[in-house]
A = this chain, B = another copy of it.
Amino acid sequence: MDAVKVGLLGLGTVGGGTVNVLTRNADEITRRAGRGIRIIQAAARDYDAEAINGLDQIDVTDDAFAVVNNPEIEIVIELIGGYSPARELVLQAIENGKHVVTANKALIAMHGNEIFAAAQAKGVTVAFEAGVAGGIPIIKAIREGLAANQIEWVAGIINGTGNFILSEMRDKGRDFDDVLAEAQALGYAEADPTFDVEGIDAAHKLTILSSIAFGIPLQFDKTYTEGITRIDRQDVAFASELGYRIKHLGIAHKTDKGIEMRVHPTLIPERRLLANVDGVMNAVLVKGDAVGPTLYYGAGAGSEPTASAVVADVVDVVRALTTDPENRVPHLAFQPNELSDLPILGMEDVETAYYLRMQVADELGVMAEITRILADAEISIEAIQQKEPAEGDTQVSLIMLTHEVLERQMNQAIKRIEALAAVTAPVIRIRMEQLDG
């Protein structure tokens, strides 16, 4: 059979990697797919021609719309990133009856509902495996591999930059700013690291994971997002002493009251595999009612790992070219008319355990006052550690681990604690998850 003709938007890190993988592994991929996959046209302004093998077989233009309007092309790969013009290009490709493969999580998280509806109407597929956790086939695992399950929760390390920073802070006792600067020098973090360290990138990915896990529309605006910029190396060290690691997790959880979607620093027990995922690696833990916990680990970013997912999606699309659209795997795992309107819970309605650190004057009765406030709020304490003040210092650090409590109650208790005269700094609060059921 003839090779499938593909158009590529973007020849940057991932675009270049995609051309390289398709060129190097052409034989292996064709032996699997039963058809060759040939990029015939690519759109890019700036690119490093030296770093890309096989570019001589590709017509390179600077007009992205020329690619999506090219009648020869059956599948468009969008690797430009960002919202615009990616959105317009993807919608135009769909309008032209072309299938789309994209690595653009921001686009899917923000405009996925519109894009999938358009694709549905045209009977084409929009594939986005590369958008979440890079080379790890996590979309496929949840959407197809765990299709028998009611998914109970998903918890993932889905931003490599943030995980690198937290890993270094723990392993070497370094400060956040110091490691961030190194990550930027190494190319792990962007010049503007906001998307990574403030959790926005993770929230895009979590929004997508929540939808395919629970069959709900994409609702990025309802995802709670808290970054790691205020994590102090003291807390990393104290957590370690207590047998926990601090990870920046994306957590989606189905409860009786609704769906939780939240990205925040989280203490997890050090014995969990997820706690031992270090450096820039990603991992996603998924709990299904039949299968129990399953974990998926690998490179969450980078040229060829991301290209691996892009090309796998292209192979899937090629295989489905002759399938009735109704029989294809639905974009959000559930049939489009079967999505549910389960409410998304606000953060005050979420129940978690907590790590608390308080800086208090080293005087009689403070502990009694604090524990009284917690008892009044029905917050039970699992562990308390008081750290000796440094010589000449009159301040001590008080570390507490609590049992599960509604965030609303915790907020009220913290407000009362901070009002105590002996409490000399804002209370540090980090959520804690056992991830054991």
Contacts and interface: CB of A to CB of B under 8 A. Distances in A.
Interface residues on A, range: 35 or more
Interface stretch (A110-118, A238-246, A300-308): A300-308
Contacts of A21: 148-149, 290
A312 B146 CA distance: 6
A351 to B, nearest CB: 24
A311 to B, nearest CB: 3
Interface stretch (A52-60, A227-235, A327-335): A327-335
A32 B294 contact: no
A79 to B, nearest CB: 14
Nearest to A319: B327
A3 interface: no
Contacts of A147: 29, 32-33, 311-312, 315-316
B295 A291 contact: no
A144 B140 contact: yes
Contacts of A31: 215, 334-335, 338
Contact of A149 (B25, B321, B329): B25
B304 A144 contact: no
B335 A34 contact: yes
A323 interface: yes
Nearest to A316: B144
B32 A327 contact: no
Interface of A: 17, 21-22, 24-25, 28-29, 31-34, 129, 135-137, 140-141, 144-150, 215, 273, 276-277, 283, 288-299, 304-305, 307-312, 315-316, 318-324, 326-330, 333-335, 338
Given A140-B141, A319-B328, 13 more contacts: A28-B149, A32-B330, A34-B326, A137-B140, A144-B316, A147-B312, A148-B309, A273-B273, A292-B305, A295-B296, A295-B298, A296-B296, A321-B327
18 contacts: A17-B290, A22-B148, A28-B215, A32-B334, A34-B327, A34-B335, A135-B292, A137-B140, A137-B144, A140-B140, A288-B308, A291-B309, A292-B304, A293-B298, A294-B296, A295-B298, A320-B323, A323-B323
